[in-house]
Amino acid sequence: MCGIVGYVGPQAAVDVVVEGLRRLEYRGYDSAGVAIVADSAIHLAKKAGKISNLDKVLAEDPLPRSGLGLGHTRWATHGGPNDVNAHPHLSADSRMALVHNGIIENYLTLRAELDVAGITPTSETDTEIVAHLLGLELATGRSLAEAMRTVCTRLHGAFTLVAVDRTDPNHVVAARRNSPLVVGVGKGENFVASDVAAFIEHTREAIELG
């Protein structure tokens, strides 16, 4: 289980998120990625290896400016440490992006459901299965928060999940079960992270979710 950061506010989300991930580097990881919502689309960059590899990708192909974003440093449990398995993962229609710390123990059962829905995952991760399930819930008209509540009841294991929806530029949605998640309350901006170290330079007001 490695690092997660989510941000909504007036600052450039990519900078806040990548800086937050850097502060979680001490936990160890094998790949890193970030996604933002801009112009009703998800834009993402992810790369195996150090955050400096992600920095290079972002320098060569910068993401548009946005105040909403999330990021992840991965410690692979399902699938090797490569660019495809790195987080964030997208739903089949690319409407939402998801990052995840932990393990979804029943992901093979859930994956079988995706076959029925005609969805073929592109990665080997347990995480991508959850992204597709969230996408299917959104397609029924649910909000991302409602979709997250519904999908979490179906997941076995310990996890922190953080997601954004390209149709909602104002919210980051997060959930946890037996895995850390802290909310940082700022002035006109808010944070979520797996550890307060990710946002301590921006706010010292933190809420540990039960």
CB of 122 to ligand GLU, least distance (A): 13
Please report, as ranges, the residues that interact with ligand GLU according to CB under 6 A. Answer: 1-2, 74-79, 85, 100-103, 125-127
CA distance linking residue 165 with residue 80, whole number of Å: 27
Q: How far is the CB of 102 from ligand GLU (least distance, A)?
A: 5
Could you tell me the smallest distance in angstroms from the CB atom of residue 186 to ligand GLU? 26
- Written as six digits, the tokens of 195 are 């550890």
Nearer of residues 25 and 75 to ligand GLU, judged by Cβ: 75
Please, which residue, 134 or 189, has the CB nearer to ligand GLU?
134
Least distance CB 76 / ligand GLU (angstroms): 5
The residue (of 78 and 171) whose beta carbon lies closer to ligand GLU is 78
Name which of 66 and 125 has its Cβ closer to ligand GLU: 125
Distance (Å, rounded) from C-alpha 63 to C-alpha 66? Answer: 8
Based on CB atoms, which residue is closest to ligand GLU, 43 or 100? 100
Q: Which DSSP letter does residue 84 get? A: T
Residues 6+ apart with CB under 8 A from 114: 120, 121, 129, 132, 133
The Cα 139–Cα 135 span in angstroms is 6
Quick one: 38 or 103, whose CB is closer to ligand GLU? 103
CB 94, CB 134: distance < 8 Å: no
| End-to-end Cα separation, the chain, in angstroms | 18
User: Distance between CA atoms of 62 and 41, rounded to whole angstroms?
Assistant: 15
In the complex, minimum distance from the CB of residue 126 to ligand GLU, in angstroms, rounded to a whole number = 5
- Least distance to ligand GLU from the beta carbon of 182, Å? 16
CA 103 distance to own-chain centroid: 14
Alpha-carbon distance of 48 to 28, in angstroms, equals 13
